[in-house]
Chains A and B, each alone.
Chain A
């Protein structure tokens, strides 16, 4: 006869491997991570993913500053969209409609500023080419059987003496995808494309200052609306927003304020979409270089 207590003792003596807890903790982490991804993908699949691309040309008003050589006065620079090309494609269930604007930068006499014009158009083309080739790859990979629709439209959102901004709305309908905002900045003083760190004094602590301000804004938004979630002090510290980088996406809005942009998924769950944070002038006034802000 077996004794139940003996059996129980034997059962309890089944040795649980030492590393089991470790494996479990790792798995819990993975599952949470994965769940987040899955939620995101579901959301993307059912909604339009809006991607905003803003191409900004900073026109500097300082009289001794001109693009290229000083032969060209900057005042009165005219930037406009002169024409556009259209890429259209339809492959079974997949379609793309991508509008590619062509921009001209002229001085006040109507002379085209070649290098500046070329620079901005190349930047735009590089971006749209990426979009088109990605679409083509997807068509090839699926034989056109995947459900996908890519539409790119543009709109000039700012065109004043100081700033020219063209915004691209990229609408992608498909299952999945992690879209990015891309912004090109052309510094008219040097003719070079610049990134975030270039607008701050080189020895300044701009990353910490701006990041702290963004964290405050995140907390405030979450307090005010329970539907808003940012990855801040969350259960997966690896995912939390920590700091901006040298090349974090930004633009300068009509009020002359710095706006920091985060891609979808970068600081928040996918349903939150692209996130923008306006930084008050007061916060960064001591560390920005002259000429970039009003």
Chain B
């Protein structure tokens, strides 16, 4: 796979899963403007570093990892900035009213939230989630278990292992 091909694959994957990228970003930054920023910056980074991709199978995981890192960067920068009027305005105007989801996810730490999102909302396999987190599968399973407990999800219904 040469770097031109890699770039094409990355581009294709972006166009295929941009909605997931947006939602993933949203689950971190919790407003539309920032989520869009995250997606935009992630896309930019991904295209520019497409040559670093080792295997096609990992492109999706790799993209998500970029989104997560970018989200975290933005969050860190935010806490350092004081909230400008503009940001407050954006928060007020945010169209997404489904805050109880965000609230319940908010009780989780970054890793726990990520595992829930990737495993259940994005239907990824434990091994792929492990790849994104750069943890081994067993660690991911225990994070998942903890997260589900925190969410007080009916574990019987949800299940947490691999299919």
Which A residues form the contact surface with B (CB < 8 A)?
1-5, 7-8, 10-17, 20-21, 23-25, 27-28, 30-32, 34-35, 38
Contact = CB atoms under 8 A, between A and B. Distances in A.
Q: Which 9 A-B pairs have the closest CB atoms?
A: A31-B47, A4-B158, A10-B101, A11-B121, A27-B43, A31-B44, A14-B23, A16-B22, A16-B19
A35 B36 CA distance: 22
B151 A7 contact: yes
A35 B10 CA distance: 14
A31 B41 CA distance: 10
Interface string B91-107: 00001101011001000
A12 B121 contact: yes
Contacts of A2: 104, 151-154
Interface string B6-21: 0100010011001100
B48 A11 contact: no
Contacts of A31: 43-44, 46-48
A23 B100 contact: no
Contacts of A16: 18-19, 22-23
Nearest to A13: B98
A15 B95 contact: yes
A35 B101 contact: no
A27 to B, nearest CB: 5
Contacts of B100: 10
B153 A24 contact: no
A13 B100 CA distance: 12
A240 to B, nearest CB: 16
B50 to A, nearest CB: 9
Nearest to A14: B23
Interface residues of B, number: 36
Interface in B135-159: 148, 151-154, 157-158
A21 B98 CA distance: 22
Contacts of B22: 14, 16-17, 20
21 contacts: A3-B153, A3-B154, A4-B153, A7-B101, A7-B104, A7-B116, A10-B100, A16-B23, A17-B22, A17-B36, A20-B18, A20-B19, A23-B39, A24-B15, A25-B15, A27-B40, A27-B43, A27-B44, A30-B44, A32-B47, A35-B47
A39 to B, nearest CB: 10
Contact of B121 (A8, A25, A30, A35): A8
B47 A7 contact: no
B49 to A, nearest CB: 9
Interface of B: 7, 11, 14-15, 18-19, 22-23, 26-27, 32, 36, 39-40, 43-44, 46-48, 95-96, 98, 100-101, 104, 116-117, 120-121, 148, 151-154, 157-158
Contact of A24 (B40, B96, B151): B40
Nearest to A35: B48
Contacts of A38: 48
Contacts of A28: 11, 14, 43, 47
A178 to B, nearest CB: 20
Nearest to B121: A11
Given A4-B154, A7-B151, A24-B39, A14 B96 contact: yes
A126 to B, nearest CB: 39
Nearest to A26: B40
Contact of A34 (B27, B48, B158): B48
A258 to B, nearest CB: 34
A7 B120 contact: yes
B15 A7 contact: no
A8 B121 CA distance: 5
Contacts of B27: 11, 14
B98 A10 contact: yes
A249 to B, nearest CB: 30
Nearest to A11: B121
B120 A24 contact: no
Contacts of A23: 36, 39-40
A10 to B, nearest CB: 4
A41 to B, nearest CB: 13
Contacts of A1: 152-154
Given A14-B26, A16-B23, A17-B32, A3 B43 contact: no
